[in-house]
Amino acid sequence: MNDNRHSLESEEAARQRIEQARALKPIAAESGLKFEAYLPTDLGAWVLELVEKGDFLDPSEAVFVFMQQARELYPHDDLKEEFLKRTLDERVNSDSPTYTLEEVKARLKESLKNRPNPASWRKIPLNA
């Protein structure tokens, strides 16, 4: 089994993902990476609220800023663990339902199958 395989993907999908990442990495290192991102309903609505308020020009700028922040946090295991602990404590102390890993995987697969077409942002030129 591939050690880099995500729990929701097949061996073939993992092979293709890794192959594509390796092929694109040198190009991205030279000229950047452009990709499509899907945000679930609550996250998508929140990002659009930030755009509407003028915090970001568009959703791609928000993703860029948040990815920069994630990259800065990535090497700090102590901060990531503290964040995870606080998030888990918040969930445990709330009335949110809990699920097993198998239930989460099943719910994810089902939601991906039945997901309606999401809203799509159209980039607006700055001098429009």
Q: Classify residue 28: in a domain, yes or no.
A: yes
Residues 28 and 54 in one domain: no
| Angle (nearest 5°) at CA 107 between 51 and 21 | 60
Q: Is residue 124 part of a domain?
A: no
Answer whether residue 12 is part of any domain.
yes
Q: pTM above the 0.85 mark?
A: no
Looking at the structure, tell me whether residues 47 and 69 fall in a common domain. Answer: yes
Pair 86, 68 in one domain? no
Is 26 domain-assigned? yes
Answer whether residue 62 is part of any domain. Answer: yes
Write down the pLDDT at residue 6.
81
> pLDDT for 34-52, tens place per residue?
888 889 889 999 999 999 9
Q: In this model, does residue 33 exceed pLDDT 80?
A: yes
Contact 43, 50 (CB under 8 A): no
Domain range enclosing 24: 6-35
